[in-house]
Amino acid sequence: MNITIVGTGYVGLVSGTCLADLGHSVHCVDINEEKVQMMKKGEVPIYEPQLEEVFLRNIKGNRLFFTTDLAEAVKKSNVIFLALPTPPGGDGSADLSYVLEVAGQIASLITQYTVIVNKSTVPVGTAKKVGELIKLKTSVPFDVVSNPEFLREGYAVEDFMRPERVIVGASSKKAFEIMEKIYLPLTNAGVNLIKMDEKSSELTKYAANSFLATKITFMNEIANYCEKVGADVDKVRMGMGADDRIGHRFLFPGIGYGGSCFPKDVKALIKSGNEIGYDFKILESVEQINEKQKTILVPDIEKHLGTLKNKCIAVWGLAFKENTDDIREASSLEIINKLLEKGASIKAYDPIAIENVQRLLGDRISYAKDMYECVEDVDALVIATEWGEFRNPHFEWLEKRMKNKAIFDGRNLYNLEELEAHGFYYKSIGRKI
Ligand code: UGA
């Protein structure tokens, strides 16, 4: 099939590349000329494991194309995916201006029956809104479909190619048939395509992300309580997760969730509830607890060191989670800011996110080239991201380099006994000191 994707941000580029890999001809449109030129030359503008390989394979296979010309791309197919940003507006609700603007342009360009597919995370009722807008501008038949993405940064290619489900929200048989045809290579391999109406589909995305954010937050509260009563959250987590109804995933306590999705979607769902007079009390608590959780280690560090004035703290991990250079809403930034406020100096290391932090914090902190250089002469080490390379360090090397053997681990990476054997003061989340 011929497919057009408008927007080559994270979702658009991964979806476009993977749809090409499923055998479709995909025409990606972006207004950013420089980015389009870059992609045409075979350069991937974002960091995402596996993406480059699939991207190059499909450019070479003549299935993946890039242009800045929306009219040209619209002419090429009768399925147009919108993968446009929906950033939180000042009040927390999703800003639909990009989606509506492009929908309006598409309306004046289509000349045959077209399915407009919304991939962006949009509030309930957006498909209807987009449909009404297009109807005002054209008499050409069309359908608007909701097809939310469930890609995790760092695992996006895998999540697209081997999803646990594909959600399609539509209200016309013809639109469902087209969407089924697009995803046929996946459904043939046993993937469940769940059909529903547009509103339910739009809400599924918010509900799924908000539920996962709640699940993590619940465990963070249990972890905090474990510390008060002397229980071990790792044991509790394993005991709980063994119940199939709960499951082991997303039960890892830590210094809160971050990224561009959970915080934004929780906020947007609360806001859209408020707009119709519905109070999402549980999500309001999730938001508040998560904010507090991000810096929960700071008082512990301060207590252990007596004061933070003139202390040098190493921070391992700046990205909001492993396998990404994304620092949006990262707990590391909140911790760093709090430590700076209290007079400490910071030496930070991340395998790939340093440049992004440098752009934000400049020389307010210093940056290390590797994880061992980072701990040279420091008074404490904070672990803020669960990168693989932090999981099994040479503790002897750390012992030699650190001025003071104290580790504050926001991601529970180490075994308590091992750290004790090496003589470290080791504070993690929800476990004994
Ligand atoms: C999330 C969802 O997992 C995807 O399904 C969804 O498509 C995506 O948002 C989106 O809406 O686009 P992502 O934000 O990439 O994906 O990251 P996750 O792997 O879900 O992690 C989010 C945050 O939760 C990270 O800060 C992570 O460290 C934290 N987390 C995750 C925990 O603290 N504990 C856990 O057990 C799991």
Q: Is residue 200 part of a domain?
A: no
Domain end residue (candidates: 135, 167, 195) = 195
157: CB partners within 8 A, 6+ apart: 14, 17, 18, 48, 49, 50, 51, 54
Quick one: 287 and 339 in the same domain?
no
Work out how many domains the chain is built from and give that number.
3
Q: What is the CA radius of gyration of the chain?
A: 24
91-134 confidence digits (pLDDT tens):
878 899 999 999 999 999 999 999 999 999 999 999 999 999 99
Residue 347 CB-half CA count within 13 A: 20
Cβ–ligand 1 distance for 217 under 6 Å, the answer no
Q: Is residue 248 part of a domain?
A: yes
> Which amino acids are annotated as binding site for substrate, given as ranges?
150-153, 205, 250-254, 258, 321
Neighbours of 306 (CB within 10 A): 8
Domain end residue (candidates: 169, 195, 221) = 195
Ligand 1 centroid distance, CA of 393 (Å) = 25
Return the residue whose CA atom lies nearest to atom 1 of ligand 1.
Answer: 152
- CATH number of the domain at 245, please: 1.10.1040.10
Compute the distance between CA of residue 66 and CA of residue 45 in angstroms, rounded to an integer: 13
210-227 confidence digits (pLDDT tens):
999 999 999 999 999 999
pLDDT of residue 87: 86
Q: Is residue 433 part of a domain?
A: no
- Structural domain containing residue 185: 2-195
| Residue 433, pLDDT above cutoff 80 | no
Return the residue whose CA atom lies nearest to atom 31 of ligand 1.
Answer: 250
343-377 confidence digits (pLDDT tens):
999 999 999 999 999 999 999 999 999 999 999 99
In DSSP notation, 198-235 reads HHHHHHHHHHHHHHHHHHHHHHHHHHHHHHHHT--HHH
218: CB partners within 8 A, 6+ apart: none
Return the residue whose CA atom lies nearest to atom 20 of ligand 1.
Answer: 152
ipTM: 0.96
Ligand 1 atom having least distance to the Cα of 331: 26
Ligand 1 atom having least distance to the Cα of 251: 36
Q: Pick the catalytic residue: 226, 261, 312, 374?
A: 261
Compute the distance between CA of residue 433 and CA of residue 429 in angstroms, rounded to an integer: 9
Element (H, E) at 10: helix 10-21
pLDDT of residue 94: 83
Q: Which residues pair with 26 in a beta bridge?
A: 3, 64
- CATH number of the domain at 191, please: 3.40.50.720
Structure tokens at 203: 């809400």
Q: Is residue 362 part of a domain?
A: yes
